[in-house]
């Protein structure tokens, strides 16, 4: 390979400060060997082929790198740290395995980037350069690698600290430089903007998801929305309280909140493009996020083991706020409205009881067979309310069913939709941004399980196909619009030692919205 063409004129610098994403971009000829940084990450394929920058550094160092390669298998994500590399200013070089040249995907690439960042953290580096982004993968736009690399770096550097009195910084990293051969400044700038906008949305969703329910109440979520309104000119917020929600007839939503002393909130966030619209305005997209700030199950009380996880039952709402933040940063041309019904699901003398029948905002009556199937009871009124915006598409995000966790685990979000084309677009966005979905069925057949002798519909459909019957329930309340329901029960948070909110599906939905804008 000709090394000259590799030596990119462009270098990207991403400065990662806690919750601050300044982007520094400069046009410059780079000679990596003369840059004084803590660490440079260099890619090696398992067949011993060196990536372009690795080759160059190897030559400058008098084959120093090649001499250690016998010991290094270079499987995806393998790494070794080299000190005192001759003729190289950087304090350390990390060789990162990229795996087989034939097996390169965005996913393997990101595994390598993550390994690099985790080595930098361990080495307590402040300034690092990743040259891995120079990796050329067949049929993959190199900008997508950069975008995913930035999001992955951001994910590795996130740490929850809000209620920790005693905590150490997760890393000393202040600056990460990604190198690339791409020469188009505009597209690089756009990629950086998208990646940092998505990253800050993810961070917001994680932070809110991780907060305990005694802090992150419906009122707290409403205040977070108001914060967005203060920060962005293209965001307007309207918070409805119980009286206003009563007037609208959201009786199903209200019935869930009744068992709790925490006041409910119905949060509306509107994003409209701040600038001169040159194209005809597109029809609105509505995003609905389930905001159960704690789900005890209500009178159908959940078992106490792992009940603390039910503070995460507002991750749909948290992701919705995160998405609104990222699109506000991007100032998308599309009009987007977020609706967040937020309340607690608690047992008390005022709570819903099994067998109760309520009348939803739509006029349909619902028999509550299980008070723990509360998510659908708050979402159905939001789905009815959404119709007043005359939306073209409604997307709802909800930690809706344990059955979804059984079906798909923590890797793929369950996607239900009444529109083939939209679900394909979601699939494409999901593969691009590594926030995976799996299309689930919505056949009428399953609706039979929701038959009730005492109301138009029952809120649960028995023990089989639980995530599908939940989606079927919601589908009974949708308006004329196209609809996507994302059950994020398995993907919104991690269990075990990495316990915590994941910020999913902020990246997925943001990428979908970005793609929509580019399509039109
Ligand atoms: N918030 C839960 C769903 C959930 C459970 C998410 C476990 C993540 C992990 C939801 O409100 C719920 O309790 N659903 C019930 C429905 C059932 C009663 C039909 C469930 O899945 O058990
Ligand atoms: Mn529940
Ligand atoms: Zn719930």
**Packing angle between helix 315-330 and helix 218-231, nearest 10 degrees?**
0
Q: Which of 291, 402, 461, 473 to mutate for ligand 1's pocket (most ligand atoms within 8 Å of CB)?
A: 402
For atom 8 of ligand 1, the residue with the nearest CA is 489
Sheet containing 365-367: which strands, arranged edge to edge?
Answer: 357-359, 365-367, 457-458
What stretches of 78-211 show up as alpha helix (H) in DSSP? Answer: 106-122, 142-157, 185-210
- Token pair of 374 as six digits: 């509360």
DSSP state at residue 50 = B
Catalytic positions are 302, 376
CA distance 152 to 319: 17
Convert the pLDDT of each residue in 21-30 to its tens digit: 444 555 556 7
Instruction: Delineate the domains of the chain, giving CATH numbers in brackets.
Output: 2-198 (3.40.220.10), 211-309+331-519 (3.40.630.10)
Split at pLDDT 50, 70, 90, the class of 121 is very high
Ranking 177-186, 364-373, 437-446, 494-503 by mean pLDDT, the lowest is: 177-186
Residue 429, ligand 1, Cβ within 6 A: no
CA distance 358 to 255: 8
Split at pLDDT 50, 70, 90, the class of 174 is confident
Convert the pLDDT of each residue in 204-219 to its tens digit: 999 999 999 999 999 9
Please identify, by atom number, the ligand 1 atom nearest to the C-alpha of residue 300: 18
Split at pLDDT 50, 70, 90, the class of 13 is low
Q: Provide mean pLDDT across the span 17-36.
A: 63
Residue 458, ligand 1, Cβ within 6 A: no
Q: What is the pLDDT of residue 19?
A: 43
Convert the pLDDT of each residue in 454-500 to its tens digit: 999 999 999 999 999 999 999 999 999 999 999 999 999 999 999 99
Cβ atoms within 10 Å of 498's Cβ, excluding its own:
8
Split at pLDDT 50, 70, 90, the class of 135 is confident
CA distance 305 to 138: 47
- Token pair of 245 as six digits: 């929600």
Could you tell me the distance, in angstroms and rounded to a whole number, from the CA of residue 308 to the centre of ligand 1? 13
Positive/negative CA dihedral, 146, 148, 150, 153: negative
CA distance 25 to 337: 33
For atom 16 of ligand 1, the residue with the nearest CA is 373
Residue 378, ligand 1, Cβ within 6 A: no
Split at pLDDT 50, 70, 90, the class of 520 is low
CA distance 342 to 294: 10
Place of tokens 């008098």: 62
What stretches of 391-505 show up as alpha helix (H) in DSSP? Answer: 402-408, 420-433, 466-475
CA distance 12 to 241: 46
Q: Provide mean pLDDT across the span 327-346.
A: 98
Closest CA to 1 of 56, 75, 42, 48: 56
Q: Provide mean pLDDT across the span 27-35.
A: 76
Could you tell me the distance, in angstroms and rounded to a whole number, from the CA of residue 319 to the centre of ligand 2? 18
**Stretch (H or E) spanning 484:** strand 482-487
The binding site comprises 290, 295, 313, 372, 374
What percentage of the chain carries pLDDT values higher than 70? 94
Q: 83-100 in b/e burial notation, b at 16+ Cβ within 10 A? A: eebeebebbbbbbbbbbe
Task: Give 11 or 271, the one with higher predicted confidence.
Answer: 271
Q: Provide mean pLDDT across the span 158-163.
A: 92
> Residue 183: is its pLDDT beyond 80?
no
Length of the chain: 520
Residue 449, ligand 1, Cβ within 6 A: no
- Token pair of 179 as six digits: 């190198």
Q: Provide mean pLDDT across the span 191-195.
A: 91
Q: Which of 289, 378, 401, 452 to mutate for ligand 1's pocket (most ligand atoms within 8 Å of CB)?
A: 401
Q: What is the pLDDT of residue 281?
A: 78
Could you tell me the distance, in angstroms and rounded to a whole number, from the CA of residue 402 to the centre of ligand 3? 9
Residue 465, ligand 1, Cβ within 6 A: no
Ranking 13-17, 109-113, 355-359 by mean pLDDT, the lowest is: 13-17
Ranking 106-120, 165-179, 380-394 by mean pLDDT, the lowest is: 165-179
Q: How far is C-alpha 33 from the geometric centre of its chain's CA atoms?
A: 37
> Residue 1: is its pLDDT beyond 50?
no
Q: Which residues make up the environment of ion ligand 2, defined by Cβ < 5 Å?
A: 295, 372, 374
Closest CA to 12 of 22, 26, 31: 26
Split at pLDDT 50, 70, 90, the class of 7 is very low
Q: What is the pLDDT of residue 9?
A: 41
Q: What is the pLDDT of residue 404?
A: 98
Task: Give 179 or 450, the one with higher predicted confidence.
Answer: 450
Cβ atoms within 10 Å of 34's Cβ, excluding its own:
11
Q: What is the pLDDT of residue 279?
A: 82
Residue 402, ligand 1, Cβ within 6 A: yes
**Stretch (H or E) spanning 224:** helix 218-231
> Residue 144: is its pLDDT beyond 90?
yes
Q: What is the pLDDT of residue 182?
A: 81
Task: Give 18 or 335, the one with higher predicted confidence.
Answer: 335
> Residue 441: is its pLDDT beyond 70?
yes
Ranking 111-125, 177-191, 257-271, 447-461 by mean pLDDT, the lowest is: 177-191
DSSP string, 339-366: EEEEEEE--STTS--TT-EEE-TTS-EE
Residue 256, ligand 1, Cβ within 6 A: no
Ranking 31-45, 181-195, 253-267, 348-362 by mean pLDDT, the lowest is: 181-195
CA distance 387 to 392: 10
Q: What is the pLDDT of residue 503?
A: 98
Closest CA to 169 of 177, 178, 159: 159
CA distance 461 to 265: 28
CA distance 165 to 77: 34
CA distance 378 to 397: 12
Q: What is the pLDDT of residue 25?
A: 52
Could you tell me the distance, in angstroms and rounded to a whole number, from the CA of residue 313 to the centre of ligand 2? 8
CA distance 504 to 435: 7
Q: Which of 372, 485, 493 to mutate for ligand 1's pocket (most ligand atoms within 8 Å of CB)?
A: 372
> Residue 89: is its pLDDT beyond 90?
yes
**Nearest-10 Cα torsion for 417, 434, 12, 113:** 170
Q: What is the pLDDT of residue 57?
A: 95
Q: What is the pLDDT of residue 403?
A: 98
CA distance 143 to 24: 17
Please identify, by atom number, the ligand 1 atom nearest to the C-alpha of residue 313: 1
């Amino acid at each position: 390979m000709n090394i000259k063409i590799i030596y990119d004129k462009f270098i990207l610098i991403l400065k990662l400060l806690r919750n601050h994403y300044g982007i520094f971009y400069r046009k410059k000829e780079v000679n990596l060997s003369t840059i004084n940084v803590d660490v440079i990450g260099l890619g090696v394929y398992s067949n011993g082929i060196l990536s372009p920058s690795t080759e160059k550094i190897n030559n400058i160092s008098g084959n120093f790198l090649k001499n250690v390669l016998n010991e290094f298998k270079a499987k995806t994500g393998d790494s070794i740290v080299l000190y005192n590399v001759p003729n190289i200013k950087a304090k350390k070089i990390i060789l990162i395995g990229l795996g087989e040249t034939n097996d390169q995907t965005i996913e393997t690439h990101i595994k390598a980037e993550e390994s690099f960042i985790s080595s930098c953290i361990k080495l307590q580096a402040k300034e690092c350069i990743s040259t891995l982004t120079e990796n050329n993968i067949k049929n993959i736009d190199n900008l997508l690698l950069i975008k995913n690399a930035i999001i992955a770096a951001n994910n590795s550097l996130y740490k929850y600290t809000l209620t920790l009195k005693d905590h150490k910084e997760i890393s000393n990293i202040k600056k990460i430089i990604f190198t690339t051969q791409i020469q188009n400044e505009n597209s690089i700038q756009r990629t950086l903007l998208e990646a940092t906008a998505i990253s800050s949305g993810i961070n917001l969703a994680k932070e809110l998801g991780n907060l305990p329910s005694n802090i992150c109440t419906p009122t707290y979520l409403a205040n977070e929305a108001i914060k967005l309104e203060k920060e962005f000119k293209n965001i307007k917020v309207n918070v409805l309280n119980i009286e206003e929600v009563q007037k609208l007839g959201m009786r199903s939503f209200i019935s869930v909140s009744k068992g709790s002393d925490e006041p409910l909130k119905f949060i509306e966030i509107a994003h409209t493009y701040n600038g001169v619209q040159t194209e005809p305005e597109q029809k609105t997209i509505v995003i609905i996020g389930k905001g159960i700030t704690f789900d005890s199950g209500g009178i159908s009380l959940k078992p106490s083991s792992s009940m603390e996880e039910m503070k995460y039952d507002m991750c749909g709402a948290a992701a919705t706020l995160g998405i609104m933040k990222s699109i506000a940063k991007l100032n998308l041309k599309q009009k987007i409205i977020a609706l967040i019904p937020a309340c607690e699901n608690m047992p008390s003398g005022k709570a819903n009881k099994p067998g109760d029948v309520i009348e939803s905002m739509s006029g349909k009556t619902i028999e509550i067979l299980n008070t723990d199937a509360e998510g659908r009871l708050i979402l159905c009124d939001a789905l009815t309310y959404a119709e007043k915006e005359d939306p073209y598409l409604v997307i709802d995000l909800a930690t809706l069913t344990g059955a979804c966790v059984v079906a798909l685990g923590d890797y793929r979000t369950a996607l239900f939709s009444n529109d083939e084309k939209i679900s394909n677009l979601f699939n494409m966005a999901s593969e691009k941004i590594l926030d995976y979905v799996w299309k689930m069925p919505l056949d009428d057949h399953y609706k039979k399980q929701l038959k009730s002798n005492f109301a138009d519909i029952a809120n649960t459909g028995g023990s089989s196909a639980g995530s599908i019957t939940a989606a079927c329930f919601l589908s009974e309340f949708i308006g004329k619009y196209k609809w996507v329901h994302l059950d994020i029960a398995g993907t919104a948070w991690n269990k075990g030692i990495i316990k915590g909110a994941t910020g999913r599906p902020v990246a997925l939905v943001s990428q979908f919205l970005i793609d929509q804008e580019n399509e039109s």
